[in-house]
Structure 1
Amino acid sequence: METFPKIISVDDHTVEPPNVWRDRLPSKYQDIGPRIVRAPLKEMTFLGGKFAPVMGAPGDDGPIGDWWVYEDLHRPLTRLDTAVGYDRDEIKLEVITYEQMRPGSFSVPERLADMDINHVQSAVCFPTFPRFCGQTFTEAKDRELGLLGVRAYNDWMVEEWCGPDAQGRLIPLTLIPLWDARLAAEEVRRNAARGVRAVAFSEIPPHLGLPSIHTDEWDPFLEACNETGTVIAMHIGSSSKMPSTSADAPPAVGSTITFANCCFSMVDWLMSGKFERFPNLKIMYAEGQIGWIPYILERADVVWEENRAWGGVADKVHRPPSELFAEHVYGCFFDDAFGLKNLDAIGVKNVLYETDYPHSDSTWPKSKEVGESQMGHLPPDVVDQLVRRNAIDLLGLTEDGLWGPSAPKA
């Protein structure tokens, strides 16, 4: 491809610096709020989609890592959180310190430099310690502290990570207090007022012990997103339950079928009636790839056409699911040659590009080369649409692909 467009990645990640909550929480929470402790690892497993680390005591044997400690939670930083710059065979499930990760994982200037290396202009970043949609705060005992933790993260995300030093190249993605839809609506509106156009949510809320989207419980939140044009972004793993087949299945099994929860979630939304009740609602699936979408749409249309009367959706879903998908749903990919060969069955306007920096699946520093290889058969205008134009339109970016409030002024 003669000229590959500068990439707007809708799925990268930030590793939060140690001071995010220390600097923003009231002093009475300093000893129980999120903070970094350096300690040895006692043991750690990742089987059947379940991550189980155990922190050792000072003086214990074991590799030393930096751990987020919050109430009773001990969560280490691992090589899987930030793997870029390491050979594939060196990427293992092991604890690390901040000094052992690429600085672009947590520092804005170094992140912009790594984006330059990777032909990336702008990027949306999901969290690490809060998990993909803020499950960490949802599971906490102290709801007051949890709400403060969510707001502190959002303030850091908007004011610092995506602040003036980011030159409009980092696009904010905020969290909500998942345990209260009305508080969630308030947080959506608070952040929309300062230019935020994306909020993280769970693919399958019942996996978190929360109501499903088939109920009316989420309506205040959905109405806030509908009113403000805030995109609901759902990352694989945002259900705290990665797809797997058995408790002893190795991680490779889950890694192969990571798209499965996105698939289940999309069918939920298409059959929920929410898109007809909230016509401006947009949702996107990060790191779910796109090759699975055509068959699911075909099957959903057949079920809607032939079985909607007894299927419980005749009174709320009045159009074929494929039509609703075309207007409301976006799939995201970084490495899906099959999906690109079937782009017409998905819809060019419904696909976004990502690089997954700094995770082990990331195409960094060769996202441009990967894109050229996979999209070489597509017309330049289609490539431009996938790689940047769709993201500009969806996220309300400037014509140059920058986030408005932090974009350099002419």
Structure 2
Amino acid sequence: MTYEDMRPGCYDRTARLADMDANHTEAALSFPTFPRFCGQTFHECGDRDLGLACVQAYNDWMIDEWCADEAYGRLIPLTLIPLWDPELAAAEVRRCAAKGSHAVCFSENPARLKLPSIHTDHWDPLFAACEDTDTVLNLHIGSSSTFPMTSIDAPRAVSLALTYQGASHAFADWLTSGVLERFHDLRVALSEGQIGWMPFILERLDSVWEQRPVYGNLDGRLSRPPSTYVRDRIYGCVFDDSIGLTLRHRIGMEQIMFETDYPHGDSTWPNSKAVFEKMVTEAGLNADEAYLLARGNAIRCFRLDRYGITA
């Protein structure tokens, strides 16, 4: 695909802001495309010095150019880490936080990238840096470089219906890993995964924790039921999930954010406002809940008051 085939808002900042205006969108995080959803492209580079230079160049561009000037407070910086070294990753988180970025990409399943899982203490330096700098870890579906498939000849609709699986796997991992027990202020956002599946995972994990802790290998890992680690810690995102919103009380309305997925093909742009209103009606959200979904939870999760967004 060439630039001529793309909508200019995919790569041109002024066009991006205009498309946001047309879609009633005040502010948005910009996820990486060329580096892939958590910087896998730079991780796969054999030259580690070059890989680190690329990560830092991307991050400097994100903070100093893409999210600066007319875009400040509208395009919220989302930076990358050198995935191959947790100490370097921690240093890059601190460097970017000093420059004004407090959101970073991470993989929904590092093990699929042939990296240690979050069930080890390998990533603790990174998690400590995120906690110290009030930086949110963002886990986008596909950031494990995998997507669900049933068969090679299945229509793409099958994969689109199952894309939530990456987020659901990450959700189960984070609630059972003990990371949220060790790092009390760490926040994680699951991007583009929807939420309708969350109540079942919460119910199932709590059942295992309470009734079969040894069988589930949870004995001693957690001091309380897995579901109790969600509040103020793990955030889900919806762009078209009325069913999930009807189950919001089993998740916590304060943990759900609205997204548009612009400029992907699965985006609700330029009709996101109508989609939002339809979900609010179908799920029976009151005015306070609608506010939390549209703005309040994102402001709280990403501390958007840093950029002048306070209400």
Q: 1:128 to 1:399 in 2, by over 3 A?
A: closer
The reply on whether 1:120 has 2:25 as its aligned counterpart is: yes
SS in 1 for 2:205: helix
The reply on whether 1:388 has 2:295 as its aligned counterpart is: yes
CA distance in 1, matches of 2:216, 2:270: 47
Q: Which position in structure 2 is the counterpart of 1:264?
A: 169
Q: Which position in structure 2 is the counterpart of 1:189?
A: 94
- The Cα shift of 1:256 comes to 1.1
Task: Answer 1 or 2: which has greater strand percent.
Answer: 1
Task: Summarize deviations over 1:282-305 as a string: whole Å, max 9, x none.
Answer: 111100001000010000100111
Q: 1:360 to 1:401 in 2, by over 3 A?
A: farther
SS in 2 for 1:193: helix
CA distance in 1, matches of 2:218, 2:208: 10
Task: Summarize deviations over 1:185-241 as a string: whole Å, max 9, x none.
Answer: 000000111221110000010100000001111111111111111111000000001
Identity %: 55
Q: Which position in structure 2 is the counterpart of 1:335?
A: 240
Q: Which position in structure 1 is the counterpart of 2:79?
A: 174
1:44-63, aligned counterparts within 5 Å? none
Task: Summarize deviations over 1:243-296 as a string: whole Å, max 9, x none.
Answer: 112344443221110001111111111111111100011111100001000010
CA distance in 1, matches of 2:186, 2:307: 25
CA contact (8 A) 2:257 2:298 kept: yes
SS in 2 for 1:365: coil
TM-score, normalised to structure 1, is 0.73
Q: Which amino acid aligns with 2:304?
A: L
1:244-283, aligned counterparts within 5 Å? 244-283=149-188
Q: Which position in structure 2 is the counterpart of 1:293?
A: 198
- The Cα shift of 1:310 comes to 3.7
CA distance in 2, matches of 1:99, 1:320: 52
SS in 2 for 1:222: helix
Q: 1:332 to 1:393 in 2, by over 3 A?
A: same
- The Cα shift of 1:400 comes to 8.0
CA contact (8 A) 1:169 1:402 kept: no
The reply on whether 1:141 has 2:46 as its aligned counterpart is: yes
CA distance in 2, matches of 1:121, 1:177: 30
Task: Summarize deviations over 1:128-178 as a string: whole Å, max 9, x none.
Answer: 000000001111111111111111110000011101120321100000000
Structure 1 residues 361-370 or 250-259, which shifts more? 250-259
Structure 1 residue ranges without an equivalent (≥5):
1-95, 404-410
SS in 1 for 2:99: coil
SS in 2 for 1:200: strand
TM-score, normalised to structure 2, is 0.96
Q: Which position in structure 2 is the counterpart of 1:362?
A: 267
Task: Answer 1 or 2: which has greater helix percent.
Answer: 2
Q: Which position in structure 2 is the counterpart of 1:353?
A: 258
- The Cα shift of 1:109 comes to 1.1
The reply on whether 1:284 has 2:182 as its aligned counterpart is: no
- The Cα shift of 1:104 comes to 1.1
Q: Which position in structure 2 is the counterpart of 1:72?
A: none
**Alignment partner of 2:124 out of 216, 219, 241:** 219
Q: Across the two proteins, how many residue pairs are aligned to each other?
A: 308
Q: 1:379 to 1:399 in 2, by over 3 A?
A: farther
- The Cα shift of 1:107 comes to 1.1
Structure 1 residues 393-402 or 278-287, which shifts more? 393-402
CA distance in 2, matches of 1:237, 1:392: 25
What is the aligned-residue RMSD (CA, Å)? 1.4
Structure 1 residues 219-228 or 308-317, which shifts more? 308-317
CA contact (8 A) 2:72 2:307 kept: no
Q: Which amino acid aligns with 1:393?
A: R
**Structure 1 runs of 4+ with >6 Å offset:** none
- The Cα shift of 1:312 comes to 2.4
Greater Rg by CA: 1
Q: Which position in structure 2 is the counterpart of 1:371?
A: 276
Q: Which position in structure 2 is the counterpart of 1:77?
A: none
Q: Which amino acid aligns with 1:341?
A: T
CA contact (8 A) 2:73 2:307 kept: no
- The Cα shift of 1:341 comes to 1.2
CA distance in 2, matches of 1:363, 1:351: 17
Q: Which position in structure 2 is the counterpart of 1:107?
A: 12
Q: Which amino acid aligns with 1:398?
A: D
CA distance in 2, matches of 1:326, 1:158: 29
Q: Which position in structure 2 is the counterpart of 1:71?
A: none
